[in-house]
Structure 1
Amino acid sequence: MSQPPDPPASAAAEHPFTAVRVTRSFDEVVRQLHEGLLSGRYSPGDRLPNERELGELLRVGRSTVREALRMLELQGLVEVRPGRNGGIFVAEPSGRNVGDALETLLRFRPPSRAELLEFRVSFEGETAWWAARRATPEECERLLALAAAVAEAAAGGAWEQLAEHDVAFHEAVAEAARNQVRVAVMQAINHPLREGVMAMGAEADASVRGAVADDLQAIAEAIRDGDSDGARDRMREHVERNPAFGQPQT
């Protein structure tokens, strides 16, 4: 297949892309576009060159450019809009994108229960500490409502219902911490967390159910009262009490 012609000098100077001259052109196109988008040259909402123009700048075929753009769109870096006013635009960064990428990694390389516990004890404890400093009255009400829902499920509901409310509570604490990195990480570990909580169902007698409900009530109250140290300590105790995760690695 013949290479597209060299782009005009003025066009090449406007963008951080150079001709691709390696065997694995697709990987190189993705790399250049990725680095160009993260270089600070572009802002969210900026329009990028179209497929033909990118092909000329990179000296690859449009099909290669199109596949690379699909990859970047899945990563949440670009948005391809159809129609007369469409085009290729730089996407607004989102913690959800980060969480999705990390979740995918954890699904392919699942952490052990001990590894997840070790991480959660410190991470969620500190997240609760920040939530106690930053939570709005509305967020505190949501935490108290979720704690009450867990208590209701613990008193006679299905374990699956309790587990869903429990996971939602941990996500709500992260949101109350007002830190998009913490929210993204919490969303990323949502799947292994849910699996761990669900695994407790077979051995979760009334005392275990009651302990989970009491823990979340204490955490929610500490956050509502602005008791950062208390929220952190109660969260750490709650995570460490979970028998589904075994003991942390030393």
Structure 2
Amino acid sequence: MVQKKDTAKTERGGAQRRFSLDRIKIPKAADVLASHLRDEIVQGRIANGEMLPNERELADNSGLSRSSVREALRMLEIEGLLVTKQGRNGGSMVCQPSRDTIVKTVNLYISSRKTRLSSLVEARSAIEPSAAMLAARYRTAEDVEAISAHHQRLLDNLDDLDGFLRANIDWHMAIVHASHNDLLIAFMESIAQSVYAVTNVENLNPEGVRQKVAKVHGLITDAIKAGDPAEAKRLMDRHVNAYAEHIGMTA
């Protein structure tokens, strides 16, 4: 809580004016060093795979204590920006952010917060219609082949709940990958397995629901094959929101 110190000052005519001074917060040395190194890494001024100077050199160059340097390096390692190598030639190696960095962070967040099923499904509803639209626009022959193959797997597993759900997740992810948008791919990869885990129950996916899912999947696959972004988005929006409503009614 910010503490304020009031001071009185006599103005002309005897009136008093009061002013307050916010207490100045000085950042920790480790935070300052971590911020500087983080910026150097994400801006690419320190190359991926490059070894940082050892603790003693960093302390000498920065003018900070070795304990502050050690704390800063530990912070960046937790963030996934550094990897510690052991051995004679060991030290801190730069590891620039990747899609896996996002996936691991979001997965950890979902697990630690025990995110509700409805939140996961709503996140899909926000992402997947746009991904389907982009997939219809940018899909390659290989993308179409993958989407079609996963759809066929889904049809072949209508009587096998686990096989059906795995094929379902793979089909959705194939469409997101076909969008060729790194952020959408990272976000969906972050939640896909959690969605699978919490929906892998019979009462959420009875035979009638599976039949409806298979039918709309076929329509969306056809729209993407045909290169129709508007139709692919419309169908996917209707599909994921219908499932979200179904989850709300039966969960």
Range into which the TM-score falls when normalised by the shorter chain: 0.7 to 0.9
SS of aligned partner of 1:214: helix
Partner of residue 164, structure 2: 162
**What percent identity do the matched residue pairs reach?**
29
Q: 2:200 aligns with which of 195, 198, 201?
A: 198
What TM-score does the superposition give when structure 2 sets the normalisation length? 0.75
Contact 1:44 1:92 in 2 (8 A): yes
Partner of residue 224, structure 2: 223
Higher relative contact order (CA 8 A, sep 6+): 1
Q: 2:154 aligns with which of 130, 135, 150?
A: 150
> What CA distance in whole angstroms lies between the structure 1 residues aligned with 2:231 and 2:47?
41
What TM-score does the superposition give when structure 1 sets the normalisation length? 0.75
By how many angstroms is 1:49 displaced? Answer: 1.5
Counting only pairs closer than 5 Å after superposition, residues 63-212 of structure 1 correspond to structure 2 as: 65-66=69-70, 68-82=72-86, 87-154=91-158, 156-157=159-160, 159-199=161-201, 201-212=202-213
> What CA distance in whole angstroms lies between the structure 2 residues aligned with 1:168 and 1:58?
52
Q: What runs of 5+ residues in structure 2 fail to find an aligned partner? A: 1-25
By how many angstroms is 1:235 displaced? Answer: 1.3
Contact 1:121 1:239 in 2 (8 A): yes
Superimposed CA distance per residue, residues 8-50 of structure 1 (whole angstroms, 9 cap, x where no aligned partner): xxxxxxxxxxxxxx89666565444334433553232433222
* One-letter identity of the residue aligned with 2:185: V
**Given the superposition, is the C-alpha separation of residues 58 and 192 from structure 1 closer, same or farther in structure 2, using an over 3 Å criterion?**
farther
**Given the superposition, is the C-alpha separation of residues 194 and 25 from structure 1 closer, same or farther in structure 2, using an over 3 Å criterion?**
farther
Superimposed CA distance per residue, residues 172-225 of structure 1 (whole angstroms, 9 cap, x where no aligned partner): 2111111111111011112332134314x2242221111122222222222122
* One-letter identity of the residue aligned with 1:230: E
SS of aligned partner of 1:246: helix
By how many angstroms is 1:86 displaced? Answer: 5.1
By how many angstroms is 1:110 displaced? Answer: 4.0
Q: 1:59 aligns with which of 36, 44, 64?
A: 64
SS of aligned partner of 1:189: helix
Q: What runs of 5+ residues in structure 1 fail to find an aligned partner? A: 1-21
Contact 1:29 1:58 in 2 (8 A): no
By how many angstroms is 1:79 displaced? Answer: 3.4
Partner of residue 54, structure 2: 50
* One-letter identity of the residue aligned with 1:134: Y
> What CA distance in whole angstroms lies between the structure 2 residues aligned with 1:182 and 1:23?
35
Contact 1:131 1:223 in 2 (8 A): yes
By how many angstroms is 1:123 displaced? Answer: 1.4
Structure number, greater radius of gyration: 2
Is 1:233 aligned with 2:238? no
> What CA distance in whole angstroms lies between the structure 2 residues aligned with 1:148 and 1:67?
52
**Given the superposition, is the C-alpha separation of residues 190 and 213 from structure 1 closer, same or farther in structure 2, using an over 3 Å criterion?**
same
Superimposed CA distance per residue, residues 60-117 of structure 1 (whole angstroms, 9 cap, x where no aligned partner): 336x645643543343312334456654332243112112112222222244344333
> What CA distance in whole angstroms lies between the structure 2 residues aligned with 1:181 and 1:58?
38
Contact 1:151 1:213 in 2 (8 A): yes
Contact 2:55 2:66 in 1 (8 A): no
SS of aligned partner of 1:76: coil
Contact 2:121 2:195 in 1 (8 A): no
Count residues in correspondence. Answer: 222
**RMSD (CA atoms):** 2.8
Contact 1:196 1:244 in 2 (8 A): no
SS of aligned partner of 1:47: coil
**Given the superposition, is the C-alpha separation of residues 40 and 138 from structure 1 closer, same or farther in structure 2, using an over 3 Å criterion?**
closer
Comparing 31-40 with 121-130, greater Cα deviation is found at: 31-40
